[in-house]
Chains A and B, each alone.
Chain A
Amino acid sequence: MADRDEKDLLSGPNMNRRGLLKCMTWAGTGVVWTLSGGVPRTLGLIGGAEAAETPQGALTFVQISDSHIGFHLPPNPDPGATLTEAIEKIKAMPTQPAFLIHTGDISHLSKEEQWDEADQIIKSANKQVFYIPGEHDVADADNGKAYLARYGKNTKGKGWYSFDMAGVHFIGLINVFEFQPGFKSAGLAKIGDEQLEWLEKDVAGRSASTPIVLMAHLPLWTIYEQWGWGTADAGRALGYLKRFGSVTVLNGHIHQIIQKVEGNITFHTADSTAFPQPAPGTAPAPGPMKEVPAGELHKYLGIRTVNYVRGKGAPALTDSTLVA
């Protein structure tokens, strides 16, 4: 795990050795995002007093992903238990995050009782949570109606939204309603024209110095076409964002951390809290790594803390596993 973290951090944005060491001091406290360069603004509008007290106007939030409540097979017959561990880890953080984001696949099969269980567990963190759906959350008979009824309040179109926090502009993009079927080209996720038009308008009037955090379930760059790990029309979305000085893309879906830098845009997929999936192309299929022994499972699960500090450039991300 240490090896993986080190490699990932070194490949990350603006990450020199000093930055790496700084991140390593956060190991075990979850992933902290530090966004800097934002408009000065008082924190704690959502997260309460603790967030407002963080030094130097920092904004800290935590990303959890792919909790897959309802999954019941090896290597993790009880993803509710590991999600609980993730939430306990967040509750124990010395600097409490202002809020949480969940980047999709809350449930395994879009069932109310699965979302009930997830909500019950996550609620104990006592934080506002910003959700986006994964493809497993829109697998009901009505193609996502149940998710939108439950999580889609105050959102635009089919669940997308944006908000501002501490000078950072957050965008919740949804790429699980539309797709490009794999008949004649790669089978990939899609954002869709209606949402892309909304996105273009959403960012049009903003200063290029506004830090952007873009959330989406499937990766917004093509990691592995053969497994559908990419978004066919992501390029158009990124085109609207490339003029911004700091764009941080947070994805889920692939149950492992892979990062990439493209100009001012950094891409980060996240660990799951439920089960790992194989590295691209290392297995016949991208399903759960069922051969992981029970004693090893926690090494493959994790949360991410994101920490923005004013005047410090790109945010700092700290990924930490669920190993106690």
Chain B
Amino acid sequence: MSMIFDRPPWPSRDAVLLGAVALGLLLLAGLTQVLAGEAVKAAASTATVDIDNFKFAPATLTVTAGTTVTWKNEDDSPHRIGDQNGTFKSAALDTDDTFSHTFAAPGEYPYICTIHPYMVGKIIVKPAGKVSSN
């Protein structure tokens, strides 16, 4: 969407049509979510944790409920994400592999690399709409 509107100054007829269709789809998706009883912000949030030099960056990440967090392994060694309470666990991530998890429920999720258990991180999930991202 933004790419289309960023392209100045006169959008082509095709782009306008495309934009209208996309907008319609978004509205439909939003309506579906509301009907399903989910309190979801207009656009699904995403956040990233980089794994480099055997560290999670950021080590503590605060997001709102519904955010999808993606870990990307930028190390030359494999890493594997596992949280303390067993709610999420990745496969072993080779160099450049990623793992994503959507955090629906507010709470604190301490996690480690299960291959290198001294590597620790934490995801703090706040109720949607109450906290600006950190």
Q: Which residues of A contact B (CB under 8 A)?
A: 73-74, 108-110, 135-136, 139-141, 179-183, 186-189, 225-228, 284-288, 290
User: How far does the alpha carbon of A288 sit from the alpha carbon of B95 in the complex, in Å?
Assistant: 12
B residues in contact with A136, CB < 8 Å = 78, 92, 115
B residues in contact with A186, CB < 8 Å = 118
Q: 3 shortest A-B CB distances, which residue pairs?
A: A187-B118, A139-B92, A228-B118
B110 contacts which of A141, A183, A285 (Cβ < 8 Å)? A183
**A109 and B77: CB pair below 8 A?**
no
Q: How many residues of B contact A (CB 8 A)?
A: 22
Of the A-B pairs whose beta carbons lie under 8 Å apart in the complex, a sample of 13, sorted by A's number, is A109-B94, A110-B92, A139-B92, A182-B112, A182-B117, A183-B120, A187-B119, A189-B117, A228-B116, A228-B117, A284-B53, A285-B75, A288-B77
B residues in contact with A183, CB < 8 Å = 84, 110, 112, 120
Interface of B is mostly: loop
User: How far does the alpha carbon of A98 sit from the alpha carbon of B91 in the complex, in Å?
Assistant: 38
Nearest residue, chain B, Cβ from A286: B54
B101 interface residue, CB < 8 Å from A?
no
**A187 and B54: CB pair below 8 A?**
no
**Distance (whole angstroms) from the CB of A274 to the closest CB of chain B:** 12
A residues in contact with B75, CB < 8 Å = 285, 287
**B76 and A188: CB pair below 8 A?**
no
B residues in contact with A141, CB < 8 Å = 91
Nearest residue, chain A, Cβ from B95: A73
Interface of A is mostly: loop
B114 interface residue, CB < 8 Å from A?
yes
Q: Which of B53, B112, B118 has the most CB of A within 10 A?
A: B118
**B112 and A109: CB pair below 8 A?**
no
A287-B75, A287-B77, A288-B76 known; A182 vs B92 contact (CB < 8 Å): no
**B115 and A139: CB pair below 8 A?**
yes
**B92 and A179: CB pair below 8 A?**
no
Nearest residue, chain A, Cβ from B55: A285
User: How far does the alpha carbon of A188 sit from the alpha carbon of B116 in the complex, in Å?
Assistant: 8
Given A109-B92, A180-B117, A181-B117, 10 extra CB contacts under 8 A: A73-B76, A110-B92, A183-B84, A186-B118, A187-B116, A187-B119, A188-B118, A227-B54, A228-B118, A285-B53
**Distance (whole angstroms) from the CB of B4 to the closest CB of chain A:** 40
Q: Which of B53, B55, B76, B110 has the most CB of A within 10 A?
A: B76
**B120 and A182: CB pair below 8 A?**
yes
Q: Which of A181, A189, A284, A286 has the most CB of B within 10 A?
A: A181
A residues in contact with B91, CB < 8 Å = 139, 141
**Distance (whole angstroms) from the CB of B82 to the closest CB of chain A:** 9
User: CB within 8 Å of A: which of B33-50?
Assistant: none
User: How far does the alpha carbon of A8 sit from the alpha carbon of B53 in the complex, in Å?
Assistant: 28
User: CB within 8 Å of A: which of B111-128?
Assistant: 112, 114-120
Interface string of B87-114 (1 = CB under 8 A from A): 0000110110000000000000010101
**B54 and A285: CB pair below 8 A?**
yes
